Structure 1
Amino acid sequence: MRYQSQSVAYWYFAVAMVLFGLQLVFGLLSATKYIGPDPLLYILPFDVTKVIHTNLLIVWVLTGFMGATYWMIPEESRAELHSTKLAYVQLVLWTLMGVTAIIGYLFRYGTGNKLLEQPLPHKIVIVICMLIFLYNIGMTIRKAGRFTTTEAVLMIGFVSAALLYLPALLHYENYTVSIFYRWWTIHLWVEGVWMMIMGGFLAYLLIRLSGADREVMEKWLYVIVGLVFLAGILGTAHHYYWVGVPTYWLPIGGVFSALE
């Protein structure tokens, strides 16, 4: 560890691993309910365990991304984080949001929108955490005065992830419209901007661990991220097959999903 402020990443990784463990527990619990008998049927029914399982996936991955970023940015910028205090405040808010959301799901407190079941107060906390995160990282880069391509790709990914969460804050009476915009968040996260984030991490790791030339690696980073992001955007259409959209989405979704 070259910079003291990088130690904040350990706590993010610890929380991510706990959430990952919980995801496995609720996933296995959901699977065993198919086998039966189910002694927890009236305490933890399948719909509750599945909601917790799927939402934990999103939360622990994002927690890991944030922790990895708090480790990587000081290395790339060659400077301490702007504020470790803000990073810890963000982690506490984020963890409280996750814990209270799980408790809420146990009592069926949620929106019912698959993978985005978080109630509006929790979604507002998510937005606040993302704003704290982006501000902290942005100020670190600005103060350091060094902005690499890997950092640029990483920041574009996180800013895009924040913007694509906006449709999740809105309520749609029409179910088809609700599903349509849900995938703007979920698919374009998982198979779009998250690929940009992971591309930045992988480029950093390859440069650091293999001694690969930075200039060569960053050129390939543009190519790979560009292809994945383009395919991810149009590949979203493979979720549109049964939601009442025009039929031209069928070949578009099929072709670009294959490219992904």
Structure 2
Amino acid sequence: FLGRSLRADEPHWLPAAFHLLFAAFAIVIGASLLGEWAGISGWLGDWWFLFGNQGWEYLEIGRFWQYLLVVGLLAWFALLWWIARPSQVSNVHARPIARMFLFGALAIPVFYVPALFFGAKTNFTVVDTWRFWIIHLWVEGFFEFFATTVVALMLFQLGLTGRNTALRVIYLDAILYFLGGLMGTGHHWYFSGQTQINMAASALFSALEVVPLTLLTLDAWDFVRTTRGETNENGAASALPHKWTFYFLMAVGFWNFLGAGVFGFMINLPIVSYYEVGTILTPNHGHAAMMGVFGMLALALMVFVLRQTTDVARWPGVEKYIRVGFWGSNLGLASMVVFSLFPAGVLQVWDVAEHGYWHARSIDYTGSVIPRRLEWMRLPGDLIFIVFGAVPISIAALKAYWHVAFDNQDALIP
């Protein structure tokens, strides 16, 4: 949808291609999950690696489904290229940003290919090298780079940041990921025979990866803050275009700084991560970064689409649910982190220092009173996230879809 907003026309077959691609991804995701279940259950025999569960953490998907996923990602990029190639972008000032947007999109299928570089009997050190290439460089690196290009393009389209600022941030991101990001992967390689200096330098480069997106968010927020007092020709205060899209993008910047930056750097340093790995500080970082950055970005894109496709007169009925969903999702995520994940992780690492790693991972610790209570303290945040976050946003999406599909409402917003 964002790519389509860059050009004035589109081929008639494009919606059908999007639907076909979505169906293909749904089939791969569903079939791979069933395959993992069947493989773990021992039903696939010698076919377990190809169609079942590979047995590697975070790369459980069977090899056959990986091949299909790569093909699907390449098809996704081909569609993006067709609709957003710079020569077809109607706004000439947006063409350099569109070029980097496509560059970031291409990195996603290309840099997933190393997941295919090992087999069922490959040496553990070799597998772990390529496994963390995917876990760190693909997910935390090039997904983050693509997220930065998407945010930059959206903020430019909404008039909240200038072209040069957006491009500078994207270029800085590219330098950090394509040069420093490769080295940054090394802070995971504790059991691959890497040197101490390599892991230390890798932790430094990994921590710097969050800087560009944070700077871009701050620039957009500063623009809105300085123009908040402006009025239109009638003397009324100027309305912020796509208000809730902007707020979700600001949430991306906040959680990128806190979840990926602060919590990530907290466990990145080798001397910390060696003793911390496997404790609750890791999912503390994972929840805040994954949902906070990619989740909020997905919600921002969804709200952007809903606003574009909903009639102006009907938008207030949808907006009230988005308002509740924004605060519910962010407060729910914050409650999970503040009242459960972060304190539980700190106490568990403290137990590692006091009694040893074996004790902090044993039932003697995890089943004791305080860790159990902190685990239950996760429940209020989950309830807030679901009841006041996921449910209202789902209602907003259904209402907007109903208006477009059954009330014959066309998009009235340019």
Moved over 6 A (4+): none
Q: State the AA in 2 paired with 1:232.
A: G
- Residue 257 of structure 1, aligned match among 197, 206, 210: 206
Equivalent residue number for residue 116 of structure 2: 169
- The offset of 1:75, in angstroms, is 1.3
State the SS of the aligned residue for 1:227: helix
Count of residue pairs brought into register by the alignment: 190
Equivalent residue number for residue 23 of structure 2: 92
When normalised by structure 2's length, the TM-score is 0.42
Unaligned runs of 5+ in 1: 1-70
Contact 1:111 1:119 in 2 (8 A): yes
1:134-149 equivalence runs, <5 A? 134-142=77-85, 145-146=88-89, 148-149=95-96
CA-to-aligned-CA distance 1:62-106 (integer Å, 9 cap, x gap): xxxxxxxxx111112333267222221111110011111112222
- Tell me: higher relative CO, structure 1 or 2? Use CA pairs within 8 A at least 6 residues apart: 1
Contact 1:199 1:225 in 2 (8 A): no
Unaligned runs of 5+ in 2: 41-51, 210-414
CA-to-aligned-CA distance 1:151-170 (integer Å, 9 cap, x gap): 22222222222111112123
Equivalent residue number for residue 111 of structure 1: 54
1:36-115 equivalence runs, <5 A? 71-80=1-10, 83-107=14-38, 108=40, 109-115=52-58
- The offset of 1:142, in angstroms, is 4.3
1:1-260 equivalence runs, <5 A? 71-80=1-10, 83-107=14-38, 108=40, 109-142=52-85, 145-146=88-89, 148-172=95-119, 173-260=122-209
Contact 1:241 1:249 in 2 (8 A): no
Q: Do the aligned partners of residues 201 and 142 (structure 1) sit closer, same or farther apart at CA in structure 2, a change above 3 Å counting? A: closer
Q: Do the aligned partners of residues 175 and 252 (structure 1) sit closer, same or farther apart at CA in structure 2, a change above 3 Å counting? A: same
Q: Do the aligned partners of residues 127 and 228 (structure 1) sit closer, same or farther apart at CA in structure 2, a change above 3 Å counting? A: closer
- The offset of 1:131, in angstroms, is 1.9
- The offset of 1:174, in angstroms, is 0.3
Give the Cα–Cα distance (whole angstroms) in 1 for the partners of residues 171 and 2 of structure 2. 19
The structure with the largest alpha-carbon Rg is 2
Q: State the AA in 1 paired with 2:144.
A: M
Equivalent residue number for residue 18 of structure 1: none
Percentage of matched positions with identical amino acids: 24
Q: Do the aligned partners of residues 204 and 142 (structure 1) sit closer, same or farther apart at CA in structure 2, a change above 3 Å counting? A: closer
State the SS of the aligned residue for 1:72: coil
Q: Do the aligned partners of residues 257 and 138 (structure 1) sit closer, same or farther apart at CA in structure 2, a change above 3 Å counting? A: closer
RMSD: 2.3
- The offset of 1:210, in angstroms, is 4.6
Contact 1:86 1:132 in 2 (8 A): no
State the SS of the aligned residue for 1:148: helix
Equivalent residue number for residue 34 of structure 1: none
Contact 1:206 1:212 in 2 (8 A): yes
Give the Cα–Cα distance (whole angstroms) in 2 for the partners of residues 210 and 113 of structure 1. 44
